[in-house]
Structure 1
Amino acid sequence: MPVLNESTHPAEAQRQQRRQQQQWLAGLAQGALSRQRLAAFAICASGALLIGQAAAIAWLIQSIVVEHRPLAQTAAVFGLLALVLLFRSLLGGLAQSAAGDVADAARLALREKVYRRLMERGPLWLRRQRTGELSELLLSHGDAIEGYYAGFQPVRTEVMVVPLLIVLAVGWVDWVVAVILVCTAPLVPFFMMLVGWGAEAAGRAQLGELARMSGHFADRIKGLGLLRLYGRGDAELGGIAAAAEGVRERTMKVLRIAFLSSTVLEFFASISVAMVALYLGLSYLGLMSLHATVPTLGTGMFCLLLAPEFYAPLRRLAAHYHDRANALAAAAEVERLLQDDLPVAPVPSEPALPPEPVQLHAPLLTLQNLTLRPQGARHDVMSGFSLSIDQGQHLALVGPSGCGKSTLLEALAGWLPPREGRILRRGQMRVGYAGQRPYLFHGSIADNLRLADPTASDARLEAAAEAAQVMRFARELPLGLDTVIGERGFGLSGGEARRIGLARLLLRDPDLLLLDEPTAFLDPETEAALLQALAIHARGRTVVMATHSAAAMRWADAVVRLHPDRAVPEQVQA
């Protein structure tokens, strides 16, 4: 969403923000405009037929009760009334179906926008977020806008068309009733506006509380084993109960506003209908005469039948006004959780900067005066860093913890934009990154490997697993690569999880391999076998490896030693 100018007056800024949120909500349904128009047409056509329905009923009452016509003479009108009821039923179903399709399209568009935005943020930003809270953007916030498209928008169109048609029809037979309707109509939107402000604030607080409770609960579920280990299980129940109580209080506040507003609006609508009935009753009793002749019973019934229907769209709009408030609250929460105060990381598969023109014998990567700072940190870990990496070179980054090895790999992967300097790439390349904590999903080892290439054959899968030394422990598992592991690699050691992450990278077959401590937690025999297999698999490819291992340093073509107190790295041949 666009950002408001800081110099804008608070009230004006709030109005602009609400308009921007409404435009943002309208943009979600751009893909279903035809269904949106169909829903509007169906609901307006149904309202227009309502006038014919009231006219048929009033004529039947006048003919049968007052004029005493035989039923045979009214059969045609009865048939017409049945036909009108049938058409109104069909139009009502069509309006609901079309509005539901619009709501589904808008909800899908919202989830696509949120998902795309989360992908743009990159893994470094996502690491600092609560996954449970972010998941609410795709779940409850998506559901919150459903009522806006399925309820509020069609009714808003109905309010602009149907009451006007009713006033014209009633005014044609009795102008006094039309005046009563026109004078009392503004009461409903006035109170609806007053209540809507409170409803929007309460809805936003309720959605925020729900997102926080979801994040809290999801985090506790993920760390349930650790909580039990330290005997904090019972204590955490209190925190979950407090979070649930906060959601209950916010929800009840929203419901109180909803019930109060409905009661007030129903009261004023009932008073208005009663004024019409009182006027007609006094006219029939001869106590009030605003016409040359007393209105007929049919005229009175026509007006009385349409008077509640005049306010019905306004009452429905008031009821669905809370859907609008919830949708605006959801839009505000999406804006808050995806605020534009952080740099957006480019997609990892794309180069961090546009590639330079290809030059003969130019280095594959050129790092010019880089200044890097880990996301969320207050100090740079590297400044004035320059380095050239040739095609096919195997480079080891070594140095004490905190000197910037992992941060440099993240910058080379395109996840972390440099604060200063630039990274030049020679042409297009496929980049693969294997971090210290690879994310493993619940499923089989083979499923986790196939994230890199869903079409990979079993032979390629096993070859990558063999090269990364995954088969060393997978052969001992009950189902081999088909063995199911838990979320985040539950059931595996840290070294085993890293080897699966490395095998997944090898299956992707990148041109540039970025490896962060790939041999950590491995015994010397497994480490030697892994380095040997990696040398074969990475032949002709460029490898940049952060490591503390002496064996990995000997394996590399060159070693770059990073010093936390030195801007320029020390490069030595291995």
Structure 2
Amino acid sequence: MTSPPQGKDRTGPRRLRLQWLDAQLLPSRSRHRVAQASQVLAGWLLVPQAAAIAWGLDAALIDAHGAGALHAPLALLAVTLLARTLLGWLGQRAAADAVEDTLARMRVGLARAAIARGPVWLRGRRSGELVALSTGHVDAAAPYFGGYLLARAEVMLVPPVLLAAVFAADWIVGLLLLAAAPLAPFFMALIGMRAEAAGRAQLSALARAGAHFTDRLRGLDLIRVYGRGEAELAQVGEATETIRVRSMRVLRIAFLSSTVLEFFASVSVALVALYFGFSYLGLIALRDPAPTLATGLFCLLLAPEFHGPMRRLAGHYHDRANALAAVAEVEAAFDDSRPALSAVPAADPAPMTPGAPAVRIEAVTLRHPGAAVPALAGASRDIPAGQRLAIVAPSGGGKSTLLDALAGWLPPESGRIHVPAGTTIALAGQRPWLFQGSLLDNLRIGAPQADEVAVREAAQIAQVTRFAAHLPEGLHTPIGEHGFGLSGGQARRVALARALLLRPQLLLLDEPTAFLDPATEADLLAALDTSLRDCTVIVATHSQAVMDWADAVWRLPGPLAAPVEPAMEAAR
């Protein structure tokens, strides 16, 4: 599917968003069709239901045949009601299963899209906003699949059958219903345009509030240190009030659409009632012979049901607007279109290259998204297989950026980085993310099937066992999110052990010995010296000990200066 144009919501983008939403349902289409068929069949059964009621009342009140005349209409009514009940249960069950599966695929697609963009992209996004996209925004599509699409199918297939049954009974009533039918969709379309804009504003406010609240929870200790608790509470209150106002705006539009449709439906039913009432009183005679009581009851029972599907569609019409608004917000967050969110199965991994890989860097220029100047420009080097290369540069000179590029997280702006296909790469960065759980859980993130011997070996090489021995439960000691409870040096050692447990062929290390005392640093380098025999190691460092440990040192130039504006240059 091609990407829709970005920017203002016009007919084209809206149509493409609807096509994408409908495409998400394809794997569950069979169950959704069962739900649609059940709802349509239940609507068609309104005809025999109304006929049974009219037949029974006419037999009891007009023909006066006694209780025996009610057996047949009551039996027909009972069978019809039982069939409609079973169809309703089957439709709800099938719709719930289809919607649940579709939402799960959409969440997987969101996660896959975020992973595909890599850690560099994720660093510039608020985690709370991404969580809101995969929860509230995806949930906003559920009523579209489970409500609006079912109501749309019912509107397309049920009213024509009811109208045909009414025409067969009394053509004048059929004309009255037919004349009122086009008015409701026209006004619903006008209201729906406004509902979509209001729904998008509401979802946007909800995402911002969720992201703000999540981020403040994560930084609660810092907020308390700087005495910003009351100010942040006030901001949360303002965000909540914005959500309330926008939610009420959406509800007002939803109530307006329902009220408009109820008005036209009520007028239509009232005209049918007046027609039969005046006909029975002899005040009008538009047909000969005059309609019977059974005909009148049959048409009066079907008249409100003729408008019922449209009323239900009006109730779900704002669900369509909310789903479109949610897709538009996802587009804006990912700077992309809906195909990026499709749950495409991951490709099979390439065959692993045996041995340590050779790496080639050819005239590479690296720039972070949105940066004014490149972090590294025109860098070239051949790194032989099995070499230990120390990268040295002043702070901001592009060391960490180059490691991100070697890991495949940051594509070069120009030039090329060649790493043999299938190479196992591990990166231990300066700010490793540690999850809430035990040290052992964090070590096994990349290799969940690793046995205890391999885990302890990696922990010993990375000097994790040195400090874990003093913890209450050793490697089973629980730690908080982002490594709470560990020092910066300890967190980096856990990240190094986690990388070693993968048994990588290319190991990327970013300041692995920072915050370590000289004795621990020497022990760590000695342990790495014996364990990394078949591995290419590239390490960014400021440590002289690491430079001495490496086979070669690559000194990068300092950070590039930002371009100077002409006015600023003239002022100098």
Residue in 2 aligned with 1:331?
327
Paired residues of 2:396 and 2:559 also in contact (CA < 8 A): no
Partner AA of 1:253 in structure 2? R
1:29 counterpart residue number: 25
Alignment partner, residue 544 of structure 1:
538
Pairing 1:155-554 to 2, within 5 Å after superposition? 155-340=151-336, 364-554=358-548
Question: CA–CA distance in 2 between the matches of 1:61 and 1:239?
Answer: 64
Q: Distance in 2 between matches of 1:25 and 1:566?
A: 45
Shift of 1:191: 1.6
Name the CA shift for 1:45/1:565 in 2 (closer, same or farther; >3 Å): closer
TM-aligned CA deviation for residue 77 of structure 1: 2.1
Shift of 1:363: 7.5
Are residues 1:78 and 2:51 paired? no
Root mean square deviation of aligned Cα? 2.3
Partner in structure 1 of residue 124 of structure 2: 128
| 1:88 has 2:59 as partner | no
Give SS of 1:139's match: helix
Q: CA deviation at 1:566?
A: 9.3
Partner of residue 343, structure 2: none
* Offset, 1:2: 3.9
The one-letter code sitting in structure 1 at the alignment partner of 2:73 is: V
Q: Structure 2 vs 1, CA of residues 109 and 362 (structure 1 numbering), >3 Å: closer, same or farther?
A: closer
Post-superposition shift, 1:402?
1.2
- Measured in 2, the distance between the counterparts of 1:288 and 1:502 equals 93
Stretch moving more, 483-492 or 509-518: 483-492
Instruction: Tell me, yes or no, if structure 1 residue 59 matches structure 2 residue 80.
Output: no
Cα deviation, 1:449-506, whole Å, max 9, x if unaligned, reads 1111111111111111111111111111111111111111111111111111111000
Q: Deviations over 1:150-192 (max 9, x none)?
A: 1111110000111000100000010000000000011211121
8 Å CA contact 2:140–2:323 kept in 1: the answer is yes
In structure 2, the CA distance between the partners of 1:426 and 1:63, relative to structure 1 (3 Å rule), is closer
Matching residue's letter, 2:359: L
Mapped to 1, the partners of 2:432 and 2:50 lie a distance apart of 69
Partner secondary structure for residue 401 of structure 1: coil
One-letter amino acid of the structure 1 residue matched with residue 207 of structure 2: A
2:551 to 553, 557, 562: 557
Question: Unaligned 5+ residue runs, structure 1?
Answer: 568-574
After TM superposition, give the deviation of residue 422 of structure 1 in Å.
0.7
8 Å Cα contact 2:368/2:374 also seen in 1: yes
Q: Distance in 2 between matches of 1:350 and 1:103?
A: 27
Q: Is the 8 Å Cα contact of residues 350 and 414 (structure 1) preserved in structure 2?
A: no
Q: Structure 1 residues 351 and 383 mapped into 2: Cα distance closer, same or farther (>3 Å)?
A: farther
TM-score normalised by length of structure 1: 0.93
CA shift in 2, pair 1:427/1:164, >3 Å: closer
**Cα distance in 2, alignment partners of residues 89 and 255 from structure 1:** 31
Aligned 8 A contact 1:440 1:488 in 2: yes
Supply the distance in 1 between the matched residues of 2:287 and 2:559 (Cα, whole angstroms): 98
Counterparts of 2:96 and 2:483, CA distance in 1:
40
Q: Which moved more, 1:228-237 or 1:371-380?
A: 371-380
Q: Which amino acid aligns with 2:529?
A: A
Question: Please, which of 41, 44, 47 is the counterpart of residue 43 of structure 2?
Answer: 47
Counterpart code for 1:305: L
Per-residue CA distance 1:185-239 (angstroms, 9 max, x = gap): 1121112111111111111110000000000001100000001011111111111
Cα distance between partner residues in 1 of 2:51 and 2:550: 91
For 2:404 and 2:559, locate their aligned partners in 1 and report how far apart those are by CA, in whole Å. Answer: 21
Post-superposition offset of 1:295: 0.4
Query: What secondary structure does 1:477 align onto?
Result: coil
Displacement, 1:99? 1.3
**Is 157-166 or 530-539 further displaced after alignment?**
530-539
- Maintained 8 Å contact 1:363/1:388: no
Q: Secondary structure at the match of 1:508?
A: coil
Could you tell me how far 1:361 is from its partner in structure 2? 13
Partner Cα separation in structure 2 for residue 73 and residue 427 of structure 1: 83
Gaps of 5+ in 2: 341-345, 562-572
CA contact (8 A) 2:60 2:69 kept: no
Work out whether residues 137 and 326 of structure 2, in 8 Å CA contact, stay in contact via their aligned partners in 1.
yes
Q: AA paired with 1:499? A: R
Structure 1 residue 427, shift from structure 2 partner: 4.9
Identity of aligned pairs, percent?
53
Counterpart amino acid of 1:307?
A
Offset, 1:375: 3.1
Contact 1:42/1:91 (CA < 8 Å) preserved in 2? yes
* SS of 2:45 mapped into structure 1: helix
Alignment deviations for residues 252-276 of structure 1 (CA, whole Å, 9 cap, x no partner)? 1111111222222212211110010
Contact residue 181 and residue 307 of structure 1 kept, 8 A: yes
When residues 46 and 541 of structure 1 are mapped into structure 2, their CA distance, relative to the original with a 3 A threshold, is same
Check whether the contact 1:163–1:311 (CA below 8 A) recurs between aligned residues: yes
